[in-house]
Amino acid sequence: MSLHDPVYDKDTVLADGVTHIRPTASGEAWVIHNIYIEFGSTCDIYICSDPTGVDKGILIHKSAMSITGMNNYHCMTDQFLLVHNTGSTSALVGYDGLISHTGY
């Protein structure tokens, strides 16, 4: 992928489950513009460096229900966003952004 290419995805996150928002290629960095959380679902969002999700990291949004246009989050392969579904049912979670750096 190239600098400024769009990045986006969606994932179904099980109850009490997690999903990561982070670059898939080594040496890339992303800026995430929006995080979409299915209506009626709530998720906690963390800045994380533990890919296992055991240590969730720093809480940045509690019981979020879609973070759109409010913040730009910088994600790399070793420091990324972790979305934890705090609800009792599955939640659809999506995001969009762009590639901000390659080859670091």
Q: Which residue has the higher pLDDT, 62 or 68?
A: 62
Q: Which tokens belong to 79?
A: 């420091």
CATH number at residue 53: 2.60.120
Structural domain that includes position 19: 6-101
Residue with tokens 């995080």: 35
Is 80 exceeded by the pLDDT of residue 20? yes
* pLDDT (tens digit per residue) in 24-44: 888 899 999 989 898 888 899
83 part of a folded domain: yes
> Distance between CA 18 and CA 11 in Å, rounded?
10
CA angle 23, 59, 63 (to 5 degrees): 100
1 part of a folded domain: no
- State how many domains the chain has: 1
Sheet holding 6-13, edge to edge: 6-13, 91-101, 29-37, 67-76
Which of the four pLDDT bands, split at 50, 70 and 90, describes residue 85? very high
Residue 104 CB: number of other CB atoms within 10 A? 9
12 part of a folded domain: yes
